[in-house]
Amino acid sequence: MPFNSQKLGAIVCAATMLHSAGAAFAQSTTYLPEWYFASDLSYDGTVATGNLVGPYEPFIWTPETGVELIGGATLQDIGVAAGTPDISHDGSRVSASIIDLTGSYLTLGLWENNKWDSLVEVGEPGTATLDANIGSAWAISGDGQTVGGLVWAGGAEYGNAKACTWSASTGLVILEVDADLSARVNALNGDGSVAVGWEERPDGAWQPTVWRDGVKMRLSPNDAFTGCEGVNSSGDIVVGTAFEPSTQNRVATIWRWDGTGYIEQKLPLLPGTPAFNGWAVANSVSDDGSIVVGTNYYSFNPGGTADGIVWTQDTGLVNAMDYFTSLGFVFESTIDIIGVYAVSPDGSTFIADYFNDRNGQVGSVILRVEDQCAADLNTDGSLDFFDVSAFLGLFQSQDPAADFNGDGLFDFFDVSTFLSAFNAGCP
């Protein structure tokens, strides 16, 4: 709950007694061990999750501990794997596809307190098993309460995948999907009220789809395989891929909610991308919508040549390597960024895939812009009353920028974290 005005006034009095200092930034580059590929970041980018290729076992990464496997591997036991590990804003919960309680089927799982819980079991109404598979997890909400993905339909629709969510309060919810068609949830907003992904057409082509409070909305109907891949905490900014008829390319796309519908912005392809065969996808967006990341492919084959892409309002869409080097990141001459999988909601941290021409290795790297003066909210290089005022305004409006501890709530702990950062000053 928001603090009352007297409590907020007390914060002002306390904070303005603290000292001022200048702002500074630094960069950190962490190459994950071979075959560890990260897929999602906590709100502030200090915790990541992903899979170890081979056993397909999820892991947790922090700068202090490195990668730690957390169980849930499926491939060696039942021969199937699917989905992506995803992480809550505070880094305490992970969703992934795991083995069900019978030890026989792939299903949606939730990791918390160092253990996995199987969320959907055999016999759940409306579901069935298909190829040792009940369903798979592809998303978790920012608050960690809702898991999204798909389950396999039972009855007359057997063989179709149905977009779904699960939470402790609702249990399994199969979202609105047209009869005899398949769909999947790829991402969830902060509280799980907005799910984004795809629903297929009768001919099988995937289409960008959003479910707002369970109500299905089709974005950008087109003649290609396209979909939604990411969403911000409010659910007002969605990213993915749409179809550009003039060149017959799929292009990275941003959709912004205007109160009644989503307004589409198609992004350009990188220079040298051929018509018809080249394509691009936006994978992830920062909470304020200022940074969008993804991949630009130069051929129809996803395993072909590719470059990471970054879009900002100031730069437009640019090659990710150029963007990161402009921030001061330094790479060996043999390293090429071939895709950017995620940006943390606060915009500080990126997950990128790279190719090392020296040894032919493909790997995952975490790139972090360390803001050493997080309390300088007006970015004028000093800490003073104006930063406190900015924080109070953000806090009262429950803007994600005021969620200083990244737990999705607005409470004393955010105030305490802000005051600590303010008191610490800037290098």
Q: Please, which residues bridge with residue 59 across strands?
A: 50, 69
Share in percent of the chain as helix, strand, coil (round to 5): 10, 40, 45
Q: What percent of the chain has pLDDT over 70?
A: 91
pTM (two decimals): 0.83
Question: How many Å apart are CA 175 and CA 7, to the nearest integer?
Answer: 42
At 32-44, the pLDDT tens digits run 999 999 999 999 9
At 357-366, the pLDDT tens digits run 999 999 999 9
The DSSP secondary-structure symbol of 421 reads H
Does residue 346 register a pLDDT over 90?
yes
Query: What is the pLDDT at residue 372?
Result: 57
Q: What is the mean pLDDT of the chain?
A: 91
Question: How many Å apart are CA 108 and CA 131, to the nearest integer?
Answer: 15
- Contact of 340 with 350, CB cutoff 8 Å: yes
Helices 385-396, 412-424: axis angle to 10 degrees equals 160
Two structure tokens written together for 211: 């479910």
pLDDT mean over 176-180: 96
| Strand extents, DSSP E, 42-125 | 48-52, 57-62, 66-69, 86-87, 94-99, 106-112, 115-118
pLDDT mean over 286-306: 92
- Contact of 416 with 4, CB cutoff 8 Å: no
Two structure tokens written together for 368: 């972090």
Two structure tokens written together for 245: 């008829």
Q: Please, which residues bridge with residue 343 across strands?
A: 350
pLDDT greater at residue 44 or residue 7: 44
Does residue 135 register a pLDDT over 70?
yes
Where do the domains of the chain lie, and which CATH numbers do they carry? 1-24+373-427 (no CATH), 34-371 (2.120.10.30)
Two structure tokens written together for 45: 């980018």
Question: How many Å apart are CA 278 and CA 246, to the nearest integer?
Answer: 13
Question: How many Å apart are CA 151 and CA 144, to the nearest integer?
Answer: 20
